[in-house]
Amino acid sequence: MGAGAEALHGPGGAAGILIDIVKVTALIVQAAAEEIAPRFGKLAAEDVREKGPNDLVTVADLAMERRLTAALSDLLPGSTVVGEEAVSDDAQIQDRLNDEAPVWLIDPVDGTTNFTEGRPMIAVIVALVRRGRTVAGWIHDPLAGGTATVEEGAGAWSGSARLRVALPAELAAMTGALNFKYFPVDLRERLKARRERVNAVRPLFCAGQEYLRLARGEIHFAEFWRIKPWDHAAGVLLHREAGGHAARINGEPYRPTDRDGGLLLAPDAASWRTLHDALLGE
């Protein structure tokens, strides 16, 4: 469903959720234009604080999340919101993903460290989850412009252009981002020792931007250890609807309610197995 998309129906064709894909996109684009873009490269020291070790939050993150929380809640009465910054203040908010009510997942500025250091690799990520399944997602680039949108069963789109993952390739020819950050020591050392088996490229340190690269077919694979839902729910659905295959490191399907276990994304199931065996297998 491309630029002309109008509605999202709930899983199984149920009309319990009816969302205008274009309207949500417009809300995200306008909020980012007013809360994020004007602050890029202009943050003062007092605009940034550390909410945890090596974990930053800025005034843009907070303003963007407040704005989207109000707008998306109004757009879908009865829905709830799980925002990254709200969860950092109250971890129990994440438990809303287990409820019956539809849940908006919000990452207001994905790649906050990049943002604070003036690197443009950032994104706004929004997903709509119902009964533990992602049914729609949006990944917006607030600086370069453009929004990738996805609806379960209706394809992955950038405007009117349908997105497709890269075609499968031989292992040595597969290009992808090897991000060692957060991996347990044994797996991290295994990845480092085997990186020459693939055509590794520099990670962007922004999950949203990695998913855009994957869905546009610019890279074949990516892997992550931390799988916080606001980082990955929209992206995994985008990647799947663009033709890709994703699973946790142990081979189990990814769900937005998962909180650990890593994630590997590839062009198809056979490529996933090849990459897993070559990079992470015993």
Looking at residue 13, its pLDDT comes to 33
Domain co-membership, 25 together with 150: yes
Q: Supply the CATH number for residue 232's domain.
A: 3.40.190.80
Residues 6 or more apart in contact with residue 193 via CB below 8 angstroms: none
152-209 pLDDT, tens per residue? Answer: 999 999 999 999 999 999 999 999 999 888 999 999 999 999 999 999 999 999 999 9
Domain co-membership, 15 together with 145: yes
Looking at residue 5, its pLDDT comes to 37
236, 257, 228: which is closest to 87 by C-alpha? 228
282: enclosing H helix or E strand: none
Q: What is the Cα–Cα distance from 204 to 177, expressed in whole angstroms?
A: 8
Q: Is residue 64 part of a domain?
A: yes
Domain co-membership, 153 together with 180: no
Q: How many domains does the chain have?
A: 2
Handedness of CA 177, 180, 186, 192 (dihedral sign): positive
CA 191 remoteness from chain centre: 22
Q: Is residue 6 part of a domain?
A: no
Q: Is residue 61 part of a domain?
A: yes
pLDDT tens per residue across all 282 residues of the chain? 443 333 443 333 333 467 899 999 999 999 999 999 999 999 999 999 998 787 899 999 999 999 999 999 999 999 999 999 999 999 999 999 999 999 999 999 999 999 999 999 999 999 999 999 999 999 999 999 999 999 999 999 999 999 999 999 999 999 999 988 899 999 999 999 999 999 999 999 999 999 999 999 999 999 999 999 999 999 999 999 999 999 999 999 999 999 888 999 999 999 999 999 999 998
Q: Supply the CATH number for residue 114's domain.
A: 3.30.540.10
Domain that holds residue 18: 11-162
